[in-house]
Amino acid sequence: MIDVETLRTTITDIVANTLSYFPRLLTAILILLVGWIIARVIATLVKRLAIRIGFDAILARTGISEGLKKAEIRRSGDELLGLLIFWTIFLNFLLIGLESLGLTAAVEPMRNLISLLPRLLAALATLVAGILIAQFLGRAAQAAMASMGVEFHEQIGSGVNMLLIVMVVIVVLEQLGIDATIMTTIFTNVLTIVVAGAALAFGLGGRDVARNVLAGYYAREQFHTGDRLVIDGEEFTLEGINTLNAELRRGDEQLVIPNTRLTHEAIRLRG
């Protein structure tokens, strides 16, 4: 036989709990609605600002846009930035809503996810800025080497660029909380080996090369193509100054001499 009193008490408790929970549910829904509106407005403003400053073009210059296309991500950089801002803001309101409902089991995982998004934004900013700085310094190194007449200036510029990009990637990984100790160790060891090898090569046989490179730099300030020069009592016409050597011509005879001889022995004839 059904206990009517027990059944009535149970139904009454369910209704009472539902009615007491309804204001909290309504509050959570209101919080989510307000959060969605605020997140949408701010994300739209950020997206428009990104379009105005050419954020997509900046990503294209760093090569990130090409990487996104290879990953089958069809959205532009402006849209991705807007989405990241939207979810960063909206998930905070979602966390407040869950706490108002008393769903503590879902709060901690959500808080961990939310704490990751600002770090992701900071890592993205660091990556973009770092790649741009690396490109600038790489071009500056290339220009400096080119002005000194170093023929492999493009390789030097690319090497500086890649070296700085690797350093930026290590910093970005650490910002994201990823242990980059192994990568840092490998990078440090490789860099040490390269620097030590270069220093050894320079110490053993590179001194003359370095002197000729520097002599070529100063020779370009003193002499110009077509100048008439006297070396060892003989007159030549300067045809060009390369990284290590200078090219001279006398009639059908061509002479190649180290740049140090050009700066130390050559006499320019005027008129």
Whether 114 maps to a domain, the answer reads no
Quote the pLDDT of residue 155: 75
Domain boundary among 102, 124, 152: 102
Beta carbons of 87 and 150 less than 8 angstroms apart? no
261 occurs within a structural domain:
yes
Number of domains in the chain: 2
Please give the helix or strand (H or E) that residue 175 lies within, else none: helix 153-175
Structure tokens at 249: 């011509």
In a domain, 39, yes or no: yes
User: What phi and psi, each to the nearest 5 degrees, are found at residue 204?
Assistant: -85, -45
Q: Give the separation between CA 40 and CA 33, rounded to whole angstroms.
A: 11
Of 66, 84, 102, which one is at a domain's C-terminal end? 102
Distance of alpha carbon 86 from alpha carbon 80, whole angstroms: 10
In a domain, 149, yes or no: no
pLDDT in tens, 210-269: 777 777 777 787 888 888 888 777 888 888 888 778 888 887 788 888 878 877 777 666
Is-contact 91 110, C-beta < 8 A?
Answer: yes
Cα separations (Å) of 251 from 248, 267, 270?
10, 19, 19
Name the least confident of 39-43, 87-91, 117-121: 117-121
Q: Is residue 94 part of a domain?
A: yes
Domain that holds residue 59: 1-102
| Confidence class for position 200, pLDDT limits 50, 70, 90 | low
49 touches 70 (CB < 8 A): no
227 domain-assigned: yes
Q: What is the mean pLDDT of residues 156-169?
A: 79
pLDDT for residue 202: 55
> Is the per-residue pLDDT at 74 higher than 60?
yes
Please indicate, yes or no, if residue 174 is contained in any of the structural domains: no
Most confident of 20-24, 52-56, 123-127, 150-154: 52-56
Residue 198 inside a domain? The answer is no
Of 180, 58, 48, give the one whose Cα is nearest residue 128.
Answer: 58
State the burial class of residue 94 (Cβ atoms within 10 Å of its Cβ: 0-12, 13-18, 19+).
buried
CATH of the domain at 242: 2.30.30.60
Name the token pair of 111: 């808080």
User: Which of 82, 102, 122 is the C-terminal boundary of a domain?
Assistant: 102
